[in-house]
Amino acid sequence: DTAVSQTPKYLVTQMGNDKSIKCEQNLGHDTMYWYKQDSKKFLKIMFSYNNKELIINETVPNRFSPKSPDKAHLNLHINSLELGDSAVYFCASSQDQGWSDTQYFGPGTRLTVL
């Protein structure tokens, strides 16, 4: 059973398009996250939701909009995709929102913008 799953695993699209990445966790966790890992492997948090409420919103272009329909899902919608958006996007979840709580990461979605 996959604890944190993401779809799609790979996404190749043209500049200017709008795309969504979906994330689901079956661990019963209260907190979910989105991270971006760039080509230099630098991992940076983008958003954090706790019980469907936005907790962390780092400096991210407003073209990125997270949506949490319920505790188990956190989707990421990206408008007007740009070349610089190419990266691997990881979803993660943890029981609580404290950073000391173990985060479980999904397999990642590799986004390539042409």
Partner 1 sequence: QKEVEQDPGPLSVPEGAIVSLNCTYNSAFQYFMWYRQYSRKGPELLMYTYSSGNKEDGRFTAQVDKSSKYISLFIRDSQPSDSATYLCAMSATQGGSEKLVFGKGTKLTVNP
The site for partner 1 (CB under 8 A) is made up of 4, 40-45, 48, 55-56, 90, 92, 97, 99-100, 102-108
Which of 18/58 has CB closer to partner 1? 58
Which of 32/80 has CB closer to partner 1? 32
Q: Give me the least distance between CB of 67 and partner 1, in Å please.
A: 21
**Residue 108: left if φ>0, alpha if ψ -120 to 50, beta else—which one?**
left
90, exposed or middle or buried, with CB in 10 Å at 0-12, 13-18, 19+? Answer: buried
Q: Give me the least distance between CB of 81 and partner 1, in Å please.
A: 22
Q: Give me the least distance between CB of 31 and partner 1, in Å please.
A: 10
- CA dihedral 50→53→58→63, nearest 10 degrees, is 130
Which of 15/55 has CB closer to partner 1? 55
Nearest partner of 22 among 94, 58, 70, judged by Cα: 70
Q: Give me the least distance between CB of 102 and partner 1, in Å please.
A: 5
